[in-house]
Structure 1
């Protein structure tokens, strides 16, 4: 199902990764103001996003946050921006922005390289409300 995603923040994630699916669930549970939608990098929509920007279309180890028509963030900056948009206590993560991106991305890359070992996550099945937040095309 397709909602009006143009005014949302789109989170692109590896649909085959348990850590990524855990992260998506975590954001879904905290997105009380309905600011986010989600698309896997493997989806047609995800592949179009990547190819239009000249980004890697076959390796799915990077999280992207995109505000259509405005900007996109990658890796640790995407994570920090998502927390900032969620607001409340999660805004405190903005302190992480004092680190240069190359340092915070090193930590991100460490988790990314080991994510398949870390995860024992079962397949995530969104409920009816959550299904509306996924872009499939």
Structure 2
């Protein structure tokens, strides 16, 4: 039996081009490797989503798992931004969280529901470089 992951994990839609940009952003700004990454199409991503009560086939299934807790939608994004070393992302996180959750999550869900139409879809998941591969869960 494998040990539970102690690092925070970001579960994302691996074929969504907007989500792939988010992952590229994280790879660039999280050079210390604080966050592990798992596509929702992967076995580990599907398992994490299901274990936190989310449908792995839902367009709203962005998830951050941190210290055993699951965070979704804009709360997940804000927590990830706050975990980055560059302070400017902390300010953006605080600004996001200052907006009432109902409003910010409504905007998030509108974008999530239409993300393939607005940003496109890839035939396959984002392919990390060999150096980046250790950041991705199978």
TM-score, normalisation: structure 2: 0.84
Please report how far the alpha carbon of residue 81 of structure 1 lies from its aligned counterpart in structure 2 after TM superposition: 0.8
Please report how far the alpha carbon of residue 49 of structure 1 lies from its aligned counterpart in structure 2 after TM superposition: 1.4
Contact residue 52 and residue 70 of structure 2 kept, 8 A: no
Gaps of 5+ in 2: none
Tell me the equivalent position of 1:98: 98
Aligned equivalents of 1:22, 1:65: Cα separation in 2: 17
Tell me the equivalent position of 1:80: 78
Aligned equivalents of 2:53, 2:120: Cα separation in 1: 32
Distance 1:113 1:54, change over 3 A: closer
1:1-137 residue pairs with structure 2 within 5 A?
6-69=5-68, 71-87=69-85, 88-93=87-92, 94-120=94-120, 124-136=126-138
Q: CA RMSD in A?
A: 2.0
Aligned equivalents of 1:111, 1:54: Cα separation in 2: 21
TM-score, normalisation: structure 1: 0.85
Please report how far the alpha carbon of residue 106 of structure 1 lies from its aligned counterpart in structure 2 after TM superposition: 1.1
Please report how far the alpha carbon of residue 51 of structure 1 lies from its aligned counterpart in structure 2 after TM superposition: 2.1
Please report how far the alpha carbon of residue 121 of structure 1 lies from its aligned counterpart in structure 2 after TM superposition: 7.0
Gaps of 5+ in 1: none
In the alignment of these two chains, the number of paired residues is 132
Please report how far the alpha carbon of residue 60 of structure 1 lies from its aligned counterpart in structure 2 after TM superposition: 3.7
Secondary structure (helix, strand or coil) at the match of 1:73 reads strand
Q: Deviations over 1:43-68 (max 9, x none)?
A: 11122112223321322432111114
